[in-house]
Amino acid sequence: MIIALQPFEVMTQLCAVNSMLPSYRIIAPGTMIDSAHFRLLIGEKLDISPTSITGIMIGGHGHNNLPLWNSITVGGIHLLSENSSIGKSYDKENWNQLHINVNQRQEEIMKIKGTEVWSISMASSELVECILRNKREIHTVTVNIKGYYDVKDDLFISIPAIISQNGVSHLITTKFSNHNNENEFATIIQNIQMIIKEKLNNI
């Protein structure tokens, strides 16, 4: 089941509670959209096509997202090998601004169009194709991370996962480039847990 309705984290959790499906068959586009904006902005900064760039964001779609600086490669070269201060407060190239710009760009789209339907539809169709053709591609999707990152209960959040004809066939745990990233992700998990609890209590 692909959930194309926001907020992804809440809606996937709701479906998991109320459906008979195993959690590995319940997914949402999550930070696929954020990651696409992230790569686009990296490309603009470096004046390189985003098709030659890898780079992902995890967490929640929107302001609860987190860039993984150690995931960025340009033509196969890890960006951190060229600038080890990327993502840190003393980074002279100010890469942290890209994180801010990703969220600002998404806000601008919402202001102009009033919706993210197009980008959600594109990401969802990519997942549909991946499942139907058993492509086993890796995408940052909203999935159940129970048992990972010290999460003991069901919690749907975006991390990299292999998507196959069975849904989520494997979760890919993230190695953070620094303790700040790790602490930020722990905070994001707590924030999303609170949001889900609040939303579900109001239903």
Q: Is 82 helix (H, G, I), strand (E, B) or coil?
A: helix
Phi/psi class of residue 109: alpha, beta or left (left: φ > 0; alpha: ψ in -120 to 50)? alpha
The whole-angstrom separation of Cα 109 and Cα 113 is 6
As annotated, the active-site residues are: 61
Q: Does residue 195 contact residue 10 with C-beta atoms inside 8 Å?
A: yes
Q: What are the residues facing 140 on neighbouring strands?
A: 160
Tokens of 196: 């889900």
Q: Does residue 73 contact residue 137 with C-beta atoms inside 8 Å?
A: no
